[in-house]
Amino acid sequence: MTDVEAPHRAKADRPAEAPASAAAQPLYAARQKVYPKRVFGKVRSVKWIILALCLALYYVVPWIRWDRGPGVPDQAVLVDIANARLFFFWIELWPQEIYFLAGALILGAFALFAVSSLFGRLWCGFTCPQTVWTDLFMFVERWIQGDRNARMKLDQGPHNANYWVRKSLTHAVWLLIAGATGGAWVMYFVDAPTVTMEILTGRASLEIYFFFALFAGFTYLLAGWAREQVCTYMCPWPRFQAAMLDENSLVVTYRDWRGEPRGKAKAEGVGDCVDCYACVHVCPTGIDIRDGQQLECIGCGLCVDACDSVMGKLGRPKGLVAFETLKNLAASEAATAGMAPGPERTRAGMAARQLPRFIRPRTMLYAGALTLVAAVMLGAFLMRSTLSVTVLRDRAPLFVRLSDGSVRNAYTIKLVNKTRDEAPLALTLQAPEGFRMTVQDVDNDAEGHPMLARRADGIAQYRVFITVPAGQRLAENTPLSFRLLDAQGRSVASQSSNFLGPKP
Partner 1 sequence: MPTKIEKDAVTGRETTGHEWDGLKELNTPLPKWWLWTFYASIAFAVVWMVLYPSLPFWRGTTQWIAREAIVGEVAEANARNAPMMARLRAATPEQIVADPQMREFALAGGRVAFANNCAACHGAGGQGGNGFPALVDDDWLWGGSLAAIHQTIAHGIRTAEDDEARTSVMPRFGADGMLTNVQIGDVAEYVLSLSGRSTDADSVTRGQAIFAENCASCHGDQGQGNREFGAPRLNDQVWLYGGGKADIIAMVRNPRLGVMPAWHARLDPAVVNMLTVFVHSLGGGE
Positions in the binding site for partner 1 (CB under 8 A): 1, 22-25, 27, 394-397, 400-405, 408, 410, 440, 463, 465, 470
Q: Which is nearer to partner 1, 374 or 456 (CB)?
A: 456
Q: Which is nearer to partner 1, 262 or 463 (CB)?
A: 463
Q: Which is nearer to partner 1, 250 or 437 (CB)?
A: 437
C-beta of 244: minimal distance to partner 1 in Å? 33
C-beta of 457: minimal distance to partner 1 in Å? 18
Q: How far is Cα 467 from Cα 337, in angstroms, rounded to an integer?
A: 93
> What stretch of H or E contains 441?
none
Q: Which is nearer to partner 1, 406 or 498 (CB)?
A: 406
Task: Collapse the DSSP code of 45 into the 3-class scheme (helix H, G, I; strand E, B; otherwise coil) and give the result.
Answer: helix
Q: Which is nearer to partner 1, 27 or 337 (CB)?
A: 27
Q: How far is Cα 280 from Cα 216, in angstroms, rounded to an integer?
A: 31
- C-beta separation of 434 from 472 below 8 A: yes
Residue 346: Cβ within 10 Å count: 22
C-beta of 1: minimal distance to partner 1 in Å? 6
Q: Which is nearer to partner 1, 342 or 471 (CB)?
A: 471
Q: How far is Cα 492 from Cα 388, in angstroms, rounded to an integer?
A: 8
CA 488 to chain centre: 44
Mode of pairing for the β-strands spanning 425-430 and 477-485 = antiparallel
C-beta of 209: minimal distance to partner 1 in Å? 25
Q: Long-range contacts made by residues 358-364, C-beta under 8 angstroms, separation at least 24?
A: 358/118, 358/248, 360/248, 362/117, 362/244, 362/246, 363/114, 363/117, 363/118
C-beta of 394: minimal distance to partner 1 in Å? 6
C-beta of 20: minimal distance to partner 1 in Å? 13
Q: Name the region of 234 (left: φ>0; alpha: ψ -120 to 50; beta: rest).
A: alpha
Q: Which is nearer to partner 1, 365 or 451 (CB)?
A: 451
C-beta of 410: minimal distance to partner 1 in Å? 6
C-beta of 434: minimal distance to partner 1 in Å? 17
C-beta of 398: minimal distance to partner 1 in Å? 9
CA 440 to chain centre: 49
| 139, amino acid identity | F
Q: Long-range contacts made by residues 290-296, C-beta under 8 angstroms, separation at least 24?
A: 290/8, 290/10, 290/254, 290/256, 290/259, 291/6, 291/10, 291/12, 291/16, 292/253, 292/254, 293/251, 293/253, 293/326, 295/232, 295/238, 295/239, 295/242, 296/228, 296/231, 296/232, 296/238
C-beta of 483: minimal distance to partner 1 in Å? 23
Q: Which is nearer to partner 1, 22 or 57 (CB)?
A: 22
Residue 116 Cα distances to 120, 238, 296, 357, 375, angstroms: 4, 11, 16, 14, 22
Q: Which is nearer to partner 1, 74 or 394 (CB)?
A: 394
Q: Which is nearer to partner 1, 471 or 479 (CB)?
A: 471
